Amino acid sequence: MTENDGANAILSRRNLLSGGVTAAVGALVLSFDMQTGGTADELPEATDPLSDAEIVELLKEEGEPDFAARATISNFWFQQSSNERPSPHWPSDDVSFDYRPLAEFAAPGTKFELSGETLKVLAERNAFDLGESSIILFGLRGCTVPSGEDYSPASAKHTVVTARPDHLNMKCLIGVWNRTGGTISLCRGSTVPNVDLMDAYIRGAVGCNMLPTGVHRYKVGPHRGNRQPGAFRQQQPLWVLRSPKSLSYAANDRSAIWDDLNGNLPFDNIHAAILNYRAKPPFFSSAGCQVVAGRYKNGVPIGAWAKFRQDAGLVHPPVIKDGARGATSDDGRTFTYFLLTGDEASLVSSRPDFEFRALRYGSSGPTVAALQEKLQMVPDSIDGNFLRSTLGTYLSWQNDKGQAVTGIVTKSDAERLGFSL
């Protein structure tokens, strides 16, 4: 896929879509349990305790690599007194970037059957071109398995339940869809940042963001050098969400920011959660990455993370080619990952009478070209691919129209623009 990012130069980085920042700097104001998991044979090996010093080092490394810190952090959220530290929260559906388009139909706690056919319909309704690969990675933000297990082996279908993330616990599913075999496997994980790094971002110490839903491209490679060999590294630039004042991501928060990082990557990789074997929250380490329950033991993936990598077709244990850099024999292999919400999957399975369609980052085809034309993008950028510049242009359109700036094109949005989904 290609797209002329230069066509939207007015929305380059530090031309942030934010509240509380003046137009003089190119900004636009927005209108608007303890989790041990694992299997019995994995737990004794995996629960070797990490010291607070080791966790601090891990969290410092996890922040965005190109973030220019304006402060040093004296202590992370988990080190603060439980009586004094602020509480993270997930916003109500009507002001959630992810759930607002579905607020009328949202149903947390709904149990449904998830299958390859469900994923196929979801991809079609969001105009996702998943290519020809037999292996597709996917994430469902706000979705769990009733048993709470870290890993559910490959099967034609699974019973799952919708939920809401909370930045403390892993309340998302990250899975592997084998389109040839017609099976999916599921891992407990998180697709949102953890509270430690959200809090550190507010204090200006590390970079932290939330990855928007859509289609994202990855290549196998190391995460944080040799700390996590054989992870999945993000490949395409985009706009991400930031929350500089609140431990929440809400569409009615005037301080919320959409940031395109000037075309640089936020490095929202897919990797091991590391902290899910702790006895106190938060139970995962992420500054925006998509993380799977598990960790490394002597350089070898263990827990659900090991199963996830194997289901994706990677060599286990990783064959290390360069120990200092964390390079493996699988490095460079490409994967498509699509991220949606559990509620959207639930609608496909539980509400066949309601056909929710949308366009968002990673969508492609004639409807995206129609969107680009209605947004009056320059001719060279009308290519039918909803990538960085299209997302930025659409965010500006939503902002100019006084709407909640979600980045998601719904049926009513399309009608307002003068085309049909």
* Per-residue pLDDT at 294: 97
* DSSP letters spanning 276-310: GG-SSS-----SS-EEES-EEETTEEETHHHHHHH
17 — pLDDT class (breaks 50, 70, 90): low
Compute the average pLDDT of residues 68-75: 91
pLDDT digits (tens, 9 = 90+) for 234-271: 999 999 999 999 999 999 999 999 999 999 999 999 99
* Residue 134 counted as domain residue: yes
* Per-residue pLDDT at 352: 76
Give me the amino acid identity at 244.
P
Tokens of 39: 């299997």
What is the domain extent for residue 288? 33-351
What predicted TM-score, i.e. pTM, was given to this entire model?
0.91
* Residue 174 counted as domain residue: yes
Lowest mean pLDDT segment, chosen from 96-110, 375-389, 403-417:
96-110
- Better-predicted residue by pLDDT, 25 or 320: 320
Domains in the chain, number = 1
* Per-residue pLDDT at 106: 62
* Residue 193 counted as domain residue: yes
* Residue 42 counted as domain residue: yes
SS3 content of the chain, % helix, strand, coil (to 5): 25, 25, 50
Rounded CA-CA distance 317/250 in Å is 40
* Per-residue pLDDT at 85: 94
Beta bridge partners of 183: 178
Task: State CA 194 to chain mean position distance.
Answer: 12
pLDDT digits (tens, 9 = 90+) for 214-231: 999 999 999 999 999 999
* Residue 367 counted as domain residue: no
CA-nearest of 145, 143, 155, 102 to 125 is 102
Three-class SS of residue 372?
helix
Distances (CA, A) of 260 to 54, 69, 224, 410, 412: 31, 18, 22, 22, 26
Residue 296 has pLDDT above 60, yes or no: yes
Which residues touch 49 (CB under 8 Å, ≥6 apart)? Answer: none
351 — pLDDT class (breaks 50, 70, 90): confident
Cis before residue 317, ω within 30 degrees of 0?
A: yes
Three-class SS of residue 49?
coil
**Cα angle 323, 196, 188; round to 5:** 70
* Residue 173 counted as domain residue: yes
Distances (CA, A) of 203 to 48, 68, 105, 247, 250: 31, 12, 36, 11, 19
pLDDT digits (tens, 9 = 90+) for 122-181: 999 999 999 999 999 999 999 999 999 999 999 999 999 999 999 999 999 999 999 999
Residue 41 has pLDDT above 80, yes or no: no
* Residue 370 counted as domain residue: no
Given a contact cutoff of 8 angstroms between Cβ atoms, the answer to whether 286 and 190 are in contact is yes
Tokens of 293: 């329950």
**Residue 360 burial (CB count, 10 A):** 25
Residue 186 has pLDDT above 50, yes or no: yes
* Residue 397 counted as domain residue: no
Beta bridge partners of 190: 291
Given a contact cutoff of 8 angstroms between Cβ atoms, the answer to whether 149 and 161 are in contact is no
Q: Is 402 left (phi over 0), alpha (psi -120 to 50) or beta?
A: left
Q: What's the whole-number average pLDDT of the chain?
A: 89
Q: Is 12 left (phi over 0), alpha (psi -120 to 50) or beta?
A: beta
